Amino acid sequence: MNAQPSGTPPVQAVGSADGGGGFVKELAVAVAVVAQLAIVLAVLFSSPEEKQSTIQQWSRQDPVGFLRTALLELGGTSETAEYGPPYNHQGDGQHAAFLHPQRWLGVSQPIDTANDFVIGPLRTIPDATLQAEVSEYLGVGSGLKTDGIESTETALLKAPVAGDRSVYMKPGEYENVDNMMRALLRLAQSGGVDGYLLTGHGYYQTDYTKPLLFMADGRVLEERAHAEHLPQRQWAMMNETGSYPGLPWLWPYAFWYQIEPFRSSENADLLVWLVMAVLSLAFVCLPLIPGLRSIPRLIPVHRVIRRD
């Protein structure tokens, strides 16, 4: 099928006859045209600029929500705490048949939410009373810890927020968790938790994994994305903020999440990636796959291609 019989039109050279000069000229013209087009679009529409969310901002706007998330982190019941690899060993991650790539690759960014998101930041506060309370909390058994966390969660349900964005909790048996939460809230509202989670490993840092996961656990980003019309059901990965086009070329990937069995599967991400891996391989190797490479003959689009 691919053999070129004698007497047939030769394969047409692309600029090689002119030593490449024609191609360079053609490319130069194209660059000029596309650059002008990009400049016109830039002047007309500019680019999106939505300021990033911060833990400081979150703890001021929704102090109770922040504290409830912090309690989940402290108790080890947040999404991150139970995620599994690459953050911890609390889950196996997604799998498909015998494939467990998430587990196989292991924990590469270890995160202990209680210590990293709560105890660690509290330890930076120079307050002897607080430090004694934190030590006391760490010294009690897991049952008392759980009791303290649950009592504080219950108290937060009816906790009023003051004008200075502090949270009042009625006196009770909290195992010091209430005081720890108050201190954590003050630290977060001052920007201290943002700074701690970013600079936990040194002065120069560019890894935002911890603050992003903390905020994701608190559904801060999800709620803001919802307001921006960016939730998952709306093909999240494809969207840019504002009314800008985003990454529409990802639609063949995002599409699979919208239909069964992927839509309701707990292993949807892995399954979709496997489908896309097969499709991508077929796409690249199309010329080598009998049947698929004949599709253009069956779809007569080539008959309308104008070549003058």
Contact positions with other proteins (CB under 8 A) in 210-269: 212-213, 215-216, 221, 224-225, 227-230, 232-251, 258-259, 263, 267, 269
Using the minimum distance from each CB to other proteins, give the nearer residue, 50 or 136: 50
138 vs 237 by CB, closer to other proteins: 237
Could you tell me the smallest distance in angstroms from the CB atom of residue 180 to other proteins?
Answer: 26
CB-CB neighbours of 299 under 10 Å = 8
Q: Which is nearer to other proteins, 60 or 224 (CB)?
A: 224
Both structure tokens of 224: 């803001």
Q: Is 53 in the site for other proteins (CB under 8 A)?
A: yes
Instruction: Say how far apart CA 82 and CA 89 lie, in whole Å.
Output: 8
Contacting residue, 21, 23, 110, 168, with other proteins by CB under 8 A:
23
138, 173, 207, 278: which one contacts other proteins (CB under 8 A)? 207
Distance of closest approach, residue 117 Cβ to other proteins, in angstroms = 14
- Minimum distance from residue 291 beta carbon to other proteins (Å): 13
Rule CB under 8 A: is residue 92 a binding residue for other proteins?
A: no
- If one asks whether residue 15 binds other proteins (CB under 8 A), the answer comes out as yes
For the segment 95-134, give every residue that binds other proteins (CB under 8 A).
101-102, 104-106, 108-109
For residue 238, the tally of other CB atoms under 10 A from its CB is 17
* Backbone angles phi and psi of 39, in degrees to 5: -65, -45
Q: How far is the CB of 248 from other proteins (least distance, A)?
A: 4
Minimum CB separation of residue 68 from other proteins in Å reads 19
* 145 and 174 Cβ atoms separated by less than 8 Å: no
Question: Quick check: 306 binds other proteins (CB under 8 A)?
Answer: yes
- Sign for the pseudo-dihedral over CA of 250, 255, 258, 261: negative
Binding of residue 298 to other proteins (CB under 8 A): no
Encoded tokens for 286: 């199309």
Instruction: Using only the alpha carbons of the chain, give its radius of gyration.
Output: 28
Buried b (16+ CB within 10 A) or exposed e, 266-298: ebeebbbbeeeeeeeeeeeeeeeeeeeeeeeee
Nearer to other proteins, 97 or 303 (CB): 303
CB nearer to other proteins: give 145 or 210. 210
Binding-residue pattern over the window 274 to 293 for other proteins, x denoting contact by CB under 8 A: ------x--xxxxxx----x
Distance CA(174)–CA(56), nearest Å, equals: 25
Q: Distances in Å between the alpha carbon of 133 and those of 22, 117, 154, 207? A: 78, 17, 20, 31
Min CB(278)–other proteins separation in Å: 13
Distances from the Cα of 120 to the Cαs of 73, 147, 197, in angstroms?
12, 21, 9
Name which of residues 182 to 201 contact other proteins (CB under 8 A).
Answer: none
